[in-house]
Amino acid sequence: MQAVVPHNSRVQAFSLINLLVGVWLVILPFAFGERSYPLAASAVIAGALVIVSELVRYAARHTVALSWVVTIAGAWLIVAPWIFNAHSPGARTWSYVISGIVLAGISAYSITSSAFRHPSGPGGARDPEAGIKRRAEKTRRTIS
């Protein structure tokens, strides 16, 4: 069984990678001279959302819900160029799509990794009968 420390280090490493992708998303519309305002605004908003989520995820424990936010933002970035009809065969569209794939993939892995490490998640669940026995023993000691 792996220790909790490597898990936290792994989550923090994933958060840093996603944080860098979030910074790239904020810069991306300006770097490519985005002509589609909705797509540019979408990238900046998604990037800001990713930055905030990953900063909190890096600093705090048990923040799996924020990985869901980042996964959804990544999925949005994959389809946004086509939704706003601003896709082109160039690097600009691929940058959105690849950024979305990286965000969604890393966050999805982080979600599954965290679920298995959390005490109430699969593989980390405590034995309910042992908990009942502990509570009964504690109650007996308190009454005595």
Banded model confidence at residue 130, pLDDT cuts 50, 70, 90: low
N-term to C-term CA, the chain = 38
Q: Which residues contact 74 (CB under 8 A, 6 or more apart)?
A: 99, 100, 101, 102, 103, 104, 105, 107
Q: Domain extents for the chain?
A: 4-143
Instruction: Look at residue 129 in the predicted model and tell me its pLDDT.
Output: 56
Write down the pTM of the prediction.
0.72
Residue 99 and residue 17 in contact, taking contact as beta carbons nearer than 8 Å: no
Instruction: Look at residue 2 in the predicted model and tell me its pLDDT.
Output: 47
Spell out the SS3 assignment of 43-65: HHHHHHHHHHHHHHHHHCCCCHH
Render pLDDT for 70-101 as a digit per residue (tens, 0 to 9): 999 999 999 998 998 877 778 888 899 999 99
The hierarchical CATH code for the domain 4-143 is 1.20.120
